[in-house]
Amino acid sequence: EVQLVESGGGLVQPGRSLKLSCAASGFTFSNYYMAWVRQAPTKGLEWVASITNSGGSTYYRDSVKGRFTISRDNAKSTLYLQMDSLRSEDTATYYCTRGGYWGQGVMVTVSS
């Protein structure tokens, strides 16, 4: 059974950093592109970043480019999202996703 379990969320002040993790199981992690998608409170879905199966290529939405870094450790079957210079508009539930599979999400709140 495919499982994606996010962790690392929490309350953080504007300008600070946070690193999210997504532990994958039930499939060969190194074979799949992965992505992060977020959802601000009461809002719709917004793609954040994607990474190829080898980690050799990464893609970001403009609003997080230069501040967020997506990465992966295929040996650990884990996806990461390093979030720096956080802003209040980054407040959202962050989901790890592989195609048709989504994690339960992790909440990130950016507030002073």
Q: Which range in 7-15, 68-76, 78-86, 97-105 contacts other proteins by CB under 8 A?
A: 97-105
Comparing CB distances to other proteins, the nearer of 16 and 47 is 47
Q: Rule CB under 8 A: say whether 26 interacts with other proteins.
A: no
Q: Which of 98, 63, 62, 94 is nearest to 81 (CA)?
A: 94
Residue 29 phi/psi, 5° resolution?
A: -55, -40
| 3-state secondary structure (DSSP) of residue 63 | helix
Contact 89, 83 (CB under 8 A): no
From the CB of 108, what's the least distance to other proteins, in Å? 15
Please state the closest distance from residue 105 (CB atom) to other proteins, in A: 6
Tell me whether residue 14 or residue 28 sits nearer to other proteins (CB atom).
28
Q: Does 69 bind other proteins (CB under 8 A)?
A: no
Distances (CA, A) of 34 to 21, 28, 50, 53, 98: 12, 12, 6, 7, 5
- 27 belongs to the binding site for other proteins (CB under 8 A): no
Q: Residues in the site for other proteins, rule: CB under 8 A?
A: 35, 37, 44-47, 50, 59, 61-62, 95, 99-105
